[in-house]
């Protein structure tokens, strides 16, 4: 295989073809350098609307705008070579109906160069997903806990417990039948996630769902321990970068205050350098 072929970006079709195969490795990214790091291991990089909470300090994802998604999408596009880049459609950019969704999804694709968009919602979004996918816009679905609906769901609770399992199953089926190439299952019981994975014919990507999903996704700042304002129970931290950053900043501050700043000494010793 030539190096040109090896570097080909994955397409929604490639992701779709991984159903039941090697698990899909997915992470979010919001900036060029982090996208480069993620791209080295990931099949799919999501410019999630979690950017609003993680990088902009918003209390929920509801305040995220198209302009924010486009700016971060463009930054991530500069860092991704192999992974499929997916951009989240922000709250209120698609819920009115298929025409509004098409207009905004097409803008996200044209202005960021992403390979697909993701939108939240189950049975009630099926018509919109069908409309978009019939018109050249690949869609990743997202069911279970849908954070843009935090106010109607009444919080960030697990979805699909007990009798509610049927609703989440029907949501996942509707999204897959409407043409989504993959579906995120967020915060649903493991057994239900496994049943959905066995039932629908496109890959499920779990977040707080089950190891049996066809892939997994995490918010990168959560798994790196960089965003430590709060930690969802299902997040495993693979690093403690916020702790490292606090220690590094404290060390720097100490050296500056003690006039023991080595870089400055080195520069100021010889003004010709
Ligand atoms: O916005 C986001 O980061 C997501 C996830 C599935 C992680 O939607």
pLDDT single digits (tens) 30-46? 999 999 999 999 999 99
Residues facing residue 25 across a β-bridge: 216
Look up residue 93 and give its DSSP letter. S
> What is the overall mean pLDDT for the chain?
94
The whole-angstrom separation of Cα 107 and Cα 110 is 5
pLDDT confidence bin for 1, thresholds 50/70/90 = very low
- Mean pLDDT for the stretch of residues 177-190: 98
Total number of residues shown for the chain:
273
The reported pTM is 0.94
- The alpha carbon of 270 and the centre of ligand 1 are apart by a number of angstroms equal to 51
Residues facing residue 205 across a β-bridge: 184, 215
Domains of the chain: 12-239 (3.20.20.60)
- Checking if the pLDDT of 265 tops 70, the result is no
Q: What is the pLDDT of residues 95-143, one digit of tens each?
A: 999 999 999 999 999 999 999 999 999 999 999 999 999 999 999 999 9
User: Which residue in this structure is represented by tokens 């305040």?
Assistant: 63
Ligand 1, CB within 6 Å, residue ranges: 28, 46, 48-50, 88, 184, 186, 207, 217, 219
Report the catalytic residues. 186
Residue nearest atom 8 of ligand 1, based on CA coordinates: 48
Q: ∠30-239-249 over CA atoms, to 5°?
A: 80
Residue 143's nearest CA partner among 161, 163, 116, 125 is: 125
3-state helix, strand, coil in the chain (%, to 5): 45, 15, 40
The whole-angstrom separation of Cα 66 and Cα 219 is 20
The whole-angstrom separation of Cα 132 and Cα 137 is 5
Residue nearest atom 5 of ligand 1, based on CA coordinates: 48
pLDDT of res. 3: 45
Q: Which atom of ligand 1 is nearest to the CA of 217?
A: 7
What is the distance, to the nearest Å, from the Cα of residue 121 to the centroid of all Cα atoms in its chain? 15
pLDDT of res. 178: 98
- The alpha carbon of 7 and the centre of ligand 1 are apart by a number of angstroms equal to 25
- Checking if the pLDDT of 4 tops 70, the result is no
- Mean pLDDT for the stretch of residues 229-242: 90
pLDDT confidence bin for 82, thresholds 50/70/90 = very high
Question: Which run of H or of E encompasses 84?
Answer: strand 84-88
- Mean pLDDT for the stretch of residues 42-54: 98
Please tell me which residue, 202 or 2, carries the higher pLDDT value: 202
Packing angle of the helix pair 66-77, 32-39 (nearest 10 deg)? 60
pLDDT of res. 273: 58
The whole-angstrom separation of Cα 167 and Cα 149 is 15
pLDDT of res. 2: 44
- Mean pLDDT for the stretch of residues 194-210: 98
Of the residues 24, 27, 118, 218, which should be mutated to test ligand 1's pocket, given the most ligand atoms within 8 Å of the CB? Answer: 118
- Give, in order, the Cα–Cα distances in Å from 256 to each of 14, 87, 244, 261: 52, 41, 18, 5
- Mean pLDDT for the stretch of residues 245-272: 81
pLDDT of res. 135: 98
Helix (H, G, I), strand (E, B) or coil at 197: helix
CA-derived radius of gyration, the chain: 21
- The alpha carbon of 85 and the centre of ligand 1 are apart by a number of angstroms equal to 13
Residue nearest atom 1 of ligand 1, based on CA coordinates: 48
What lies within 8 Å, CB to CB, of 16 at 6+ separation is 181, 182, 202, 203
């Amino acid at each position: 295989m030539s190096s040109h072929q090896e570097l080909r970006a994955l397409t929604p079709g490639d992701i779709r073809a991984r159903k039941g195969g090697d698990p899909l490795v997915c992470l979010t990214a919001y900036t060029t350098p982090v996208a480069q790091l993620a791209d080295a291991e990931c099949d799919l990089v999501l410019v999630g609307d979690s950017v609003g909470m993680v990088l902009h300090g918003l209390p929920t994802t509801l305040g995220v705008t198209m302009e924010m998604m486009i700016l971060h999408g463009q930054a991530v596009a500069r860092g991704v070579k192999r992974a499929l880049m997916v951009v989240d459609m922000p709250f209120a950019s698609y819920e009115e109906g298929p025409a509004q969704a098409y207009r905004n999804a097409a803008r996200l694709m044209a202005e960021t160069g992403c390979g697909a968009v993701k939108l939240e919602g189950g049975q009630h979004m099926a018509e919109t997903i069908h409309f978009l996918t019939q018109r050249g816009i690949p869609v990743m679905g997202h069911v279970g806990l849908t954070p843009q609906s935090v106010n109607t769901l009444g919080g960030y609770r697990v979805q699909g417990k007990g009798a509610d399992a049927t609703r989440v199953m029907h949501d996942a089926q509707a999204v897959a039948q409407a043409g989504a190439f993959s579906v995120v299952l967020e915060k649903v019981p493991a057994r239900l996630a496994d049943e959905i994975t066995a039932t629908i014919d496109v890959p499920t990507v779990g977040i707080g769902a089950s190891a049996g999903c066809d892939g997994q996704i995490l918010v990168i700042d959560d798994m790196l321990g960089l965003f430590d304002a709060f930690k969802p129970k299902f997040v495993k931290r693979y690093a403690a970068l916020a702790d490292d950053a606090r220690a590094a900043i404290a060390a720097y501050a100490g050296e500056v205050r003690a006039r023991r700043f080595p870089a400055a000494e080195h520069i100021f010793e010889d003004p010709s350098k």
